[in-house]
């Protein structure tokens, strides 16, 4: 009888732990202000569709997330495939970069970059070269992709914000401020459909380069269009075709 009671107690305890873990996971999911998603885009140059792009967000255990962006371009005799992946930690809607991978293949030389970050200890590790670099990280440091996620979170939390400054660590380990400014509200007709957006602008004067980014409030501030212009000539444009939440 005693053994039977002990077995029942163990089963109940196990079920209780499972229920607690499930509720904790449900609470964590409810606290996410961005649901995991996959967004598809057309890549456009000179009014022609020259490729596709995909942006994804996946949540992982321990308040971590994987944020990625990949592109595939075929234009005349030129081909280019790229994928960026950021492993980040999310604490109170603050994005903390942990690892950044970049892979490029196609016409011309291939490129592969792998970095790991320990912002608490001010360390950056170039995995490919097996080099450890000491860097005085700003409190809001981002990698070359993770700042996109932080930008969206900032827009959701404060739609009235007009200026966004992100210290971004480059492939070489140097840090540069990426500055975006509010540039008005625009209604866009995209392959996805008609959407109302706010537009942000980043200008790099010394490189004669301007980047415009459009975010849709009705899609929880998803990036729906991006355009880059250099010396007055459009370099590329990405337009949203579809989005799916998971």
pLDDT tens track for 183-198: 999 999 999 999 999 9
Q: How many CB atoms lie within 10 A of CB 195?
A: 20
Q: How many CB atoms lie within 10 A of CB 144?
A: 19
Q: What is the CATH number of domain 33-245?
A: 2.50.20
In this predicted model, what pLDDT tens digit does every residue of 70-92 receive, in sequence order?
Answer: 999 998 889 999 999 999 999 99
Q: Is the pLDDT of residue 12 over 60?
A: no
Round to whole Å and give the CA distance between 111 and 57: 24
Per-residue confidence (pLDDT) for residue 42, from 0 to 100 = 98
Tokens representing 144?
């070359």
This prediction's pTM: 0.87
Domain spans of the chain? 33-245
| Residue 20: φ, ψ to 5° | -65, -45
Q: Is the pLDDT of residue 22 over 70?
A: no
Q: Is the pLDDT of residue 28 over 60?
A: no
Per-residue confidence (pLDDT) for residue 172, from 0 to 100 = 84
In angstroms, what CA-CA distances link 66 with 6, 19, 148?
A: 42, 26, 13
Round to whole Å and give the CA distance between 239 and 241: 6
Round to whole Å and give the CA distance between 210 and 213: 10
At CA 146, angle to CA 141 and CA 152, rounded to 5?
A: 105
């Amino acid at each position: 009888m005693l053994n039977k009671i002990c077995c029942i107690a163990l089963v109940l305890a196990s079920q209780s732990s499972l229920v607690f873990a499930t509720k904790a996971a449900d609470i964590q999911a409810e606290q996410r202000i961005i649901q995991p998603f996959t967004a598809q885009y057309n890549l456009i140059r000179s009014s022609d569709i020259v490729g596709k792009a995909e942006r994804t967000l996946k949540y992982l255990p321990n308040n971590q997330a994987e944020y990625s962006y990949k592109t595939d371009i075929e234009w005349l005799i030129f081909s280019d495939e790229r994928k960026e992946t950021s492993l980040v930690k999310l604490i109170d809607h603050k994005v903390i970069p942990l690892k950044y991978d970049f892979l490029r293949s196609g016409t011309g030389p291939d490129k592969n970059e792998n970095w790991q970050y320990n912002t608490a200890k001010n360390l950056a590790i170039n995995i490919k070269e097996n080099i450890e670099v000491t860097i005085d990280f700003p409190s809001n440091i981002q990698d070359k992709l993770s700042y996109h996620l932080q930008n969206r979170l900032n827009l959701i939390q404060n739609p009235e914000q007009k200026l966004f400054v992100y210290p971004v660590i480059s492939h070489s380990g140097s840090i540069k401020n990426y500055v975006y400014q509010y540039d008005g509200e625009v209604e866009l007709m995209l392959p996805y459909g008609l959407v109302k957006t706010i537009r942000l602008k980043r200008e790099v004067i010394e490189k004669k380069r301007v980047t415009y980014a459009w975010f849709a409030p009705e899609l929880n501030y998803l990036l729906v269009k991006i355009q880059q212009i250099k010396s007055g000539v459009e370099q590329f444009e990405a337009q949203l075709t579809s989005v799916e939440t998971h």
